[in-house]
Amino acid sequence: MNTINHVAIIMDGNGRWAQQRSMPRWKGHEMGIQAVRRVSEAACRQEIPILTLFAFSSENWKRPAEEIRILFSLFQRYLVAERQSLIDNDIRVSAFGRRDRLPLFVGEALSSVEEETGSCKRLHLRIALDYGARYEIVEAARALANEVAQGKLDLEQITEEGFMRRLASDGVPDPDLIIRTAGEQRLSNFLLWQAAYSEFYFSSKLWPDFEAVDLEEAIADYRSRTRKYGALACAAG
């Protein structure tokens, strides 16, 4: 049976959830936050050490300003309202992605929750916010190029490990399982480097409908798979 250290979820389908009910799209985002709460608690119960959630992509800036504004204010409200329960549940929260384009009130709420939950150990809840994998990879390349230009690094010293250390996920193991909801089957610029050997699970459920049992099913499915990493099944690590 496969062990599981890291689950990543592309939370998709909030808009469709609302549209199906003739509600404004933000209602779907509001219900999506309830799902974040349910699924993080389920991840704790399932003893998953790391849960990464894709909350806002670098391409989501293309959406109407009003939707973006509501998304960020829902997100800030979640951080403030959940603060105590995150601490009580021993959940450490951290965000990755660009910080410089986030509204100030989101950056501030994030920094304080990151600080207050910094020593929590049961679950590491990572939130990808204004995150795009291509940008992350280009930034890592830029950091390496800069070190080479300054004479601090030789070209021959550029390795996969060294490259990995310059990614936002430095120190975090690659996701074992990537779940995407709402029936879409694509990465949408999420964790392109880290997904090299991730297992994928696609759920037709819209994110606001995703329950603890859906996470359990995805994990059970993952556990039954054979991971080979290019080797033969019996030799796989």
Sole binder of ligand IPE in the list 4, 33, 55, 178 (CB under 6 A): 55
Is residue 184 within the footprint of ligand IPE (CB under 6 A)? yes
CA 76 to chain centre: 17
Q: Where are the alpha helices (DSSP H) in the chain?
A: 14-20, 25-45, 65-88, 104-116, 133-149, 160-165, 212-223
Is residue 16 within the footprint of ligand IPE (CB under 6 A)? yes
Sole binder of Mg ion in the list 4, 6, 9, 12 (CB under 5 A): 12
Is residue 210 within the footprint of Mg ion (CB under 5 A)? no
CB 186, min distance to Mg ion, A: 10
Q: Report yes or no: 168 and 96 within 8 Å, Cβ to Cβ.
A: yes
CB 207, min distance to Mg ion, A: 9
Is residue 14 within the footprint of ligand IPE (CB under 6 A)? yes
Q: Which of 2, 14, 60, 90 is catalytic?
A: 60
When the beta carbons of 24 and 162 are compared against ligand IPE, the nearer one is: 24
Q: Which of 12, 130, 176, 214 is catalytic?
A: 12
Burial class of residue 181, CB neighbours in 10 A (0-12, 13-18, 19+)? buried
Burial class of residue 132, CB neighbours in 10 A (0-12, 13-18, 19+)? buried
Q: Which helix (H) or strand (E) holds 123?
A: strand 123-131
CB 207, min distance to ligand IPE, A: 6
Residue 54 phi, psi (nearest 5): -85, 110
* CA distances, 5 to each of 57, 115, 172, 193 (Å): 24, 23, 10, 17
CA 51 to chain centre: 7
Three-class secondary structure of residue 70 per DSSP: helix
From the list Mg ion, ligand IPE, none, partner contacted by residue 89 (C-beta under 5 to 8 A by kind): none
* CA distances, 217 to each of 140, 186, 207, 210 (Å): 35, 20, 15, 11
CB 15, min distance to ligand IPE, A: 3
Nearest residue to 191 (alpha-carbon basis) of 50, 53, 62: 53
Is residue 12 within the footprint of ligand IPE (CB under 6 A)? yes
When the beta carbons of 134 and 186 are compared against ligand IPE, the nearer one is: 186
Question: Would residue 12 show up in a list of annotated catalytic residues for this protein?
Answer: yes
Interface region with ligand IPE, contact rule CB under 6 A, candidates 50-58, 74-82, 170-178, 194-202: 50-58
Is residue 25 within the footprint of Mg ion (CB under 5 A)? no
What does the binding site for Mg ion look like in residue numbers (CB under 5 A)?
Answer: 12
Known catalytic residues? 12, 60
Sites of contact with ligand IPE (CB under 6 A): 10-16, 54-57, 60, 71, 182, 184, 186, 188
